[in-house]
Chain A
Amino acid sequence: MPGSFLNLVLRNAWQHRLRSGLTVLGMIVAILAFGLLGTVVDAWYAGADGAAANRLIVRSSISLVFPLPQTYKERIRAVDGVRDLSWANWFGGIYKEPKNFFAQFAVDGESYFRLYPEFVVGEGAMRDFLRDRKGCVVGRKLAETHGLRVGDTLTLKGTIYPGSWDFVIRAIYDGARKGTDQSQMFFHWAYLNETVKARMPGRANNVGVFIAEVDSADRVATVSRAIDREFANSRAETLTETEKAFALGFIAMTEAIVVAIRIVSYLVIFIIMAVMANTMAMTARERTAEYATLRALGFPPGFVAALICGESLLLAGVGGLAGIVLTFPVAAAFAARMGTLFPVFNVSGATVLLQAGSALVVGVVAALLPMRRVARLSIVDGLRAVA
């Protein structure tokens, strides 16, 4: 019986090839779009997801655009619970054209890479970077996007720090995890500071943020309060938060876009659900006499309802599966086209699960009304549908 049931479901689905084909195509597009939009949202949150639980970001309490004196470093390091410390400045340079956007940070090389073990640099390359005042480290994805190699000169046009800035690529870092951002560039804070001191003395000896590593993730709240207390009522008060909260703060600024993307992705599913429901309603209406015949022959209403549900699930399943499979190459092509705009653009397991779940829901929901109608169908009325 199960084999014959599946045979009937398959044959029914194949009966109207054009209609079934178009429905499956619609399903593929919907599930693919749903997956891609979900991946875009994931990419938005990639920075927050990759944050370490025991790293704190210390910044100006007024705004991130206001720097903190570099002299704070000793006082922060002295706070109980702070195990290690580093600092960074957002550089904001343009590489050839504004569209080639990527993040650039002036960092204290030695401590920064100690605090961020997810940026993996070979020992020799790190030595070369630390030795070269104008040296820089770039991510693997950034290097591949722009064809950069070790030894190349990378020239940036400063926006926050005006002028032309030349760097020599001394190392290319890889990500320790799949989700590690490999599209950043790091260079020596000392080089930035010396140059700024020469060109704009008033802006020297400042840092954008301090990064403090806490000895235990359980103590981050206590330590962050202690740091902020340390600088209360000073000329540059601090706001200390976890790295994740810091990243989420950035995302919050663009939350409306994320919400819009999410709404569009669910709308896509809702539309395909309506299309599928229409297909199944048409199919069931056309087969009314067949269903009535099956009932007359002694098949229970549940069998006939299962035929409809099976056909709906088959169409949704085939479309959903193809949509999921296609998500991977399309996402890869999309990420390549976007360059370093989305530093991390991976189709997550959760996205695939959501795609599969959506296909299942579409299949079941689309069949509900026709199933209900057939279950209530009077055999006599159904048989009259042909006569």
Chain B
Amino acid sequence: MSSPEVLVRLREVRKSYRRGAQVVPVLTGIGFDIAAGEFLALMGPSGSGKSTLLNLIAGIDRPDSGELVVAGEDIAALDEAALADWRARNIGFIFQFYNLMPVLNSRENVELPLLLTGLSGRERRQRAEFALAMVGLADRMDHTPNELSGGQQQRVAIARALVTDPTLIVADEPTGDLDRESAGDVLKLLQRLNREAGKTIVMVTHDQRAAEAAHAIMHLEKGELFVREELKQG
């Protein structure tokens, strides 16, 4: 039996921030692997470094030192332009506050990442409509974010994250701003994406119930990996 393919590999990754003259260490030599097709939840108290870790894996922040290979690319070695291009091809983002463009409707928001591809306008439109249909919003294509509920906005954001068919989806507190019912819908959707579309998902959450939607929970504390808990129901 062969071991699953490693999609994310971290070794001795360190990251600190400057607060005035003070250097605050956030990650202190963390190292682990994430397999392709895995649904991993990152948990930990505030300041434990879970969001920083997610930002590093997503390529929107850089480690001070250590090895960080995602989808076969040593992303710490890429320059700004190459990293932006890499993100566009490999990462789908889901944010706590959805981060949709308020002036664009659902279809246009989902189409946005496709502007960076060579697809024609018609192809972009078709893909965006398909992605919205996948998240159950086929009838909300022309609605702007302020015409949608929080749960619907997050589903638009999920459609935007998956429309480019990324290697990895990163979700930062995707249910943090939602009521219980909407949060449940979003988590079910993420599970479906993982199970049916085979998407690798890394999700940061404070919510134990949300974390239990994943295959495994990784607990962080004070910038170090505390424990990895495997879950059956993921």
Output the nearest chain B residue to A298 by Cβ-Cβ distance.
B88
* Chain A residues within 8 Å of chain B by Cβ, number: 26
The one of A12, A293, A296, A378 in contact with B103, judged by C-beta atoms closer than 8 angstroms, is A12
The one of B85, B86, B93, B104 in contact with A296, judged by C-beta atoms closer than 8 angstroms, is B93
Cβ contacts under 8 Å, B108 to chain A: 7
Q: Is the CB of A380 within 8 A of B103?
A: no
Output the nearest chain B residue to A10 by Cβ-Cβ distance.
B103
Listed residue (A14, A289, A295, A297) with the most chain B CB atoms within 10 angstroms of its CB: A297
Q: Does A147 contact B (CB under 8 A)?
A: no
Provide the B85-108 mask, 1 if CB < 8 A to any CB of A, else 0: 111110001011101011110001
235-290 of chain A: CB within 8 A of chain B: 289-290
Cβ contacts under 8 Å, A295 to chain B: 60, 84
Provide the B77-88 mask, 1 if CB < 8 A to any CB of A, else 0: 000110011111
Listed residue (B58, B84, B102) with the most chain A CB atoms within 10 angstroms of its CB: B84
The smallest C-beta distance from A372 to any residue of chain B, in angstroms, reads 16
Cβ contacts under 8 Å, A71 to chain B: none
Report how far A387 CA is from B93 CA in the complex, Å.
15
Q: Does B229 contact A (CB under 8 A)?
A: no
Q: Does A15 contact B (CB under 8 A)?
A: yes
Q: Does A63 contact B (CB under 8 A)?
A: no
Among the stretches B113-121, B191-199, B207-215, the one at the interface with A is: B113-121
Q: Is the CB of B103 within 8 A of A8?
A: yes
Listed residue (B60, B81, B87, B104) with the most chain A CB atoms within 10 angstroms of its CB: B60
Cβ contacts under 8 Å, A298 to chain B: 84-89, 113, 116
Q: Does B112 contact A (CB under 8 A)?
A: yes
Q: Does B147 contact A (CB under 8 A)?
A: no
Contacts A/B (CB < 8 Å), 26 sampled: A1-B115, A3-B121, A8-B103, A8-B104, A11-B103, A12-B103, A14-B103, A15-B102, A290-B99, A293-B101, A294-B112, A295-B84, A296-B58, A296-B93, A297-B88, A297-B93, A297-B113, A298-B84, A298-B113, A299-B115, A299-B116, A301-B80, A378-B61, A380-B60, A386-B95, A387-B96
Report how far A300 CA is from B80 CA in the complex, Å.
8
The smallest C-beta distance from A385 to any residue of chain B, in angstroms, reads 10
Report how far A289 CA is from B101 CA in the complex, Å.
10
Q: Does A4 contact B (CB under 8 A)?
A: yes
Cβ contacts under 8 Å, A294 to chain B: 112
Q: Does B55 contact A (CB under 8 A)?
A: yes
Q: Does A341 contact B (CB under 8 A)?
A: no
Q: Does A120 contact B (CB under 8 A)?
A: no
142-192 of chain B: CB within 8 A of chain A: none
Q: Is the CB of A4 within 8 A of B60?
A: no
Cβ contacts under 8 Å, B113 to chain A: 297-298
The chain A residues found within 8 Å of chain B, CB to CB, are 1, 3-4, 7-8, 11-12, 14-15, 289-290, 293-301, 378-380, 383, 386-387
The one of A11, A299, A301 in contact with B104, judged by C-beta atoms closer than 8 angstroms, is A11
Report how far A298 CA is from B86 CA in the complex, Å.
8
The smallest C-beta distance from A228 to any residue of chain B, in angstroms, reads 72
Cβ contacts under 8 Å, B102 to chain A: 15, 290
Q: Is the CB of A15 within 8 A of B103?
A: yes
The one of B55, B87, B101 in contact with A8, judged by C-beta atoms closer than 8 angstroms, is B101
Report how far A294 CA is from B160 CA in the complex, Å.
12
The smallest C-beta distance from B52 to any residue of chain A, in angstroms, reads 8
Q: Is the CB of A293 within 8 A of B104?
A: no
Q: Is the CB of A293 within 8 A of B95?
A: yes
Cβ contacts under 8 Å, A378 to chain B: 61
The smallest C-beta distance from B58 to any residue of chain A, in angstroms, reads 7
Cβ contacts under 8 Å, A1 to chain B: 115
The smallest C-beta distance from B61 to any residue of chain A, in angstroms, reads 5
Cβ contacts under 8 Å, B111 to chain A: 4
Output the nearest chain B residue to A297 by Cβ-Cβ distance.
B113
Q: Is the CB of B104 within 8 A of A379?
A: no
Output the nearest chain B residue to A386 by Cβ-Cβ distance.
B97
13-66 of chain B: CB within 8 A of chain A: 55, 58, 60-61
Q: Is the CB of B97 within 8 A of A297?
A: no
Report how far A124 CA is from B85 CA in the complex, Å.
81
Cβ contacts under 8 Å, A297 to chain B: 87-88, 93, 112-113, 116
Output the nearest chain A residue to B103 by Cβ-Cβ distance.
A11
The one of A7, A15, A293, A300 in contact with B99, judged by C-beta atoms closer than 8 angstroms, is A293
